[in-house]
Amino acid sequence: MLFDTNVILDAVLDRRPWATEARKLLDGAAGGAVEGFVAGHAITAIHHVVEREVSMVAAATAVADILTVLEVVALGHAGFERALSMRLADFEDSLQVSAALVAGADYIVTRNAADFRGTPVPTRPPGALLATLAASGYLPGER
């Protein structure tokens, strides 16, 4: 699964009421229960927001933690062209979809599913994805 920027920020910034679900999914990726990806361009956005809202030290720590848990998906020329061709309202969302395609991700986990309507990668909200993973036995202690 590719983590949308908002889900990672929910966990890092303890944004309620979403932080708990976001952390559980990231813990699942950290423990190897699921394969987690983050788009390379999202790293800079995460650093920027955390630095602005907390501190530079917190931003650096957040990025270091993300790099230990998620696989970073880099986009080259073709990935950016693909994103441009999607013509979504927010170019950053197009980049997320392009990164998910490069990674071969089954889902984009996001709270903003409407932003990805009509794209080739399905979206799942964190809570629904947690329920599916728990029912399948992928997340220990979640049954």
CATH code for the domain in which residue 35 is found? 3.40.50.1010
Prediction pTM value: 0.92
**CA–CA distance, 141 with 8 (Å, rounded to integer):** 22
**CA–CA distance, 11 with 29 (Å, rounded to integer):** 13
Task: Look up the domain containing 54 and give its range.
Answer: 2-134
Q: What confidence score (pLDDT) does residue 143 get? A: 39
Band (123; pLDDT cuts 50, 70, 90): very high
Q: Would you say residue 88 lies in a domain?
A: yes
On the question of pLDDT at 140 being above 90, the answer is no
Q: Would you say residue 142 lies in a domain?
A: no
Q: Which two tokens stand for residue 56?
A: 């530079």
Q: Would you say residue 139 lies in a domain?
A: no
Q: Would you say residue 60 lies in a domain?
A: yes
Mean model confidence pLDDT for the chain: 94
Phi-psi region of 140 (alpha: psi -120 to 50; beta: other; left: phi over 0): beta
Query: What is the tens place of the pLDDT at every residue in 24-43?
Result: 999 999 988 899 999 999 99
Q: How many domains does the chain have?
A: 1
What's the burial of 117, exposed, middle or buried (CB within 10 Å: 0-12/13-18/19+)?
A: exposed
Q: Would you say residue 45 lies in a domain?
A: yes
What's the burial of 23, exposed, middle or buried (CB within 10 Å: 0-12/13-18/19+)?
A: middle
Q: Would you say residue 141 lies in a domain?
A: no
